Structure 1
Amino acid sequence: MGDEVKDNCSSCGTDESGIRTAHHDEKTIKELVNRLNRIEGQVRGVKGMIEKHTYCDDVLNQITSVQSALDGVSKLLLEKHFKSCVKDRLSQGDDEVIDELLKTIFRMKK
């Protein structure tokens, strides 16, 4: 399977520069952005802890919290991807989406 992308998904496509795009409803985008904004604040907090020489175990606990929050974003995005792009491409007979998805999931599980 190459890196070329078929524009078979009615929810996804490519923009004018050839970059793959996804179509998410505004509620999903807002939820993802809100979560990422909180994570961004958590990361700044971890940086501040390090700058203040906070005890390593406390910093590591905060890093674990950030990783968990990022996992939540990934899970939400994966769910939306399954329910839109993957579903649409499979219904149109594009079985390559399965290989693409498996590759992504295996990368996420490393």
Structure 2
Amino acid sequence: MKGFTDEEAVAPVVAVMLVLAVVVTFLAVYNASIVPSLKAEAEVMHIGGDVEESFLRFAADIDSAAGMKRPVQLSESLVLGGGGYAFERGGTLRWNACYHPRR
């Protein structure tokens, strides 16, 4: 059986290291340039849709309560999160407001 010398595996190891360096560089560029733009777009769509509607409903409820001139308790849910992106974390924020008109 022929023995291996130290230099026989140098070329394949260098080739694998270069391929790995190219793959890591590609992933780093993708993560630094593409992912933030996708996340920003998802946040704009989320704020322009669900969040805005929740605040408009709550503002309308406050206006209605002010017009009634009597104590009212209001409640509204707000959907949190980034708006449908793959790495999204979110939840629901719920707040209650009590309106007591001045006498």
Normalized per residue, the structure richer in helix is 1
Return the TM-score normalized by structure 2: 0.36
Normalized per residue, the structure richer in strand is 2
* Larger-gyration structure (1/2): 2
